[in-house]
Each structure stands twice: as C-alpha cells, then as structure tokens.
Amino acid sequence: QRYAGADFIVSCVDSGAFRHTLGKSGSHHGSEALWLDTGNGADSGQVVLGHFGIPPRGLRLPNVYDLYGDGLLEGDTGDLPSCSLAEALLRQRWSVNPIIAATALSILDSLFLRGGTAHHGALVRIDPISIVPLLVDPDVWADMGYITARKT
C-alpha cells in the first residue's frame, strides 16, 4: 500500500474523485494513520479528520470517504482556476478557503496541543454563516449514513 508508512495524511484538493480514490485505497487496510481532509465548493465545505484505515483497537473515526462515499464524485466540474479575479469570485466566495483552513487548524490545535478532540471535523457554510462541528459520536455518524461497530 502506498501510504503504509504514513502517520498522518492531509488532503486539500479540488478533486472529489481523488479523495474518493484515496479513501477507497485505505478502507480495507489495517492502519492507525489519521487523514485530515479539507474540501469546499463555492460557498460551503467540510473538514474531516478520520482514520485512513482500520486501527487494530479502539473506536475508528470515520474519514471523509466513509461519510460521503460516492457522493465525493458528485460536483467535480473540471473547472480550472481563473486568472481573472472577477471570474474567480463569481465561482467561489473568497472567504470559504480561509474559513476551512482555520477550522482545520482548530482541530489540529486540539489534537496536538491537548492530546485529543471532542470533534473530528466540521461542516461550514458561508451564507448564512454556520460552522457545525462533527462530534466524535457514533450517533452523529449514523445520521450521516455511517454505521460503525460499537466497541464494548
């Protein structure tokens, strides 16, 4: 496996197809590696921290592929960045990228400086503005369509 030695993977790409392929590649392998994915559209996005593969013990945090699956393939338009600022602003709100980045940094801050986090991601919308945390909670994941084996 290509990412076998990785402890941490970060993806910040515009291609849902790439994120789908990356997630699928790790979905059946044993690994404690964490995957932080940031993705956004014109005025919304998400940040998801999850296990890249299947850890040998403990609760498995679902990653962006687990939560969105084939939905990652929707919305890829193949649009290239525009050299025109006016055109670029028509396609994407200028504030979406910095808000996604700050949200990802907040999760990393909790993880690295505090040793853990009660939320492993967030759903972000620009208009109306909202940031909804993804709690480390199997019931929240079930609401998103992800069912995990509960550890007892």
Would you say residue 115 has pLDDT above 80? yes
The verdict on residue 1 lying in a domain is: no
Would you say residue 81 has pLDDT above 60? no
Residues 6+ away with beta carbon under 8 Å from 65: 19, 20, 22, 23, 24, 26, 27, 72
The verdict on residue 3 lying in a domain is: no
For the segment 109-133, the average pLDDT, to the nearest whole number, is: 93
The verdict on residue 107 lying in a domain is: yes
> 42 is in which domain, residue-wise?
8-74+83-143
Phi, psi angle pair for 29, to nearest 5°: -105, 145
For the segment 24-45, the average pLDDT, to the nearest whole number, is: 88
> For residue 75, what pLDDT is reported?
66
DSSP 68-129: HGGGGGTT---PPPPS-HHHHHHHS-TTHHHHHHHHHHHHHHHHHHHS--SEEEEEEETTTT
Ramachandran assignment for 3, one of left (phi > 0), alpha (psi -120 to 50 degrees), beta (any other): alpha
The verdict on residue 104 lying in a domain is: yes
Contact in structure between 23 and 71 (CB atoms under 8 Å): no
Count the domains in the chain: 1
User: 79 pLDDT band (50/70/90 cuts)?
Assistant: low
The verdict on residue 150 lying in a domain is: no
For the segment 125-136, the average pLDDT, to the nearest whole number, is: 93
pTM: 0.85
Would you say residue 152 has pLDDT above 50? no
Higher pLDDT pick, 103 / 29: 103
Q: Is the peptide bond before 128 cis (omega within 30 degrees of 0)?
A: yes
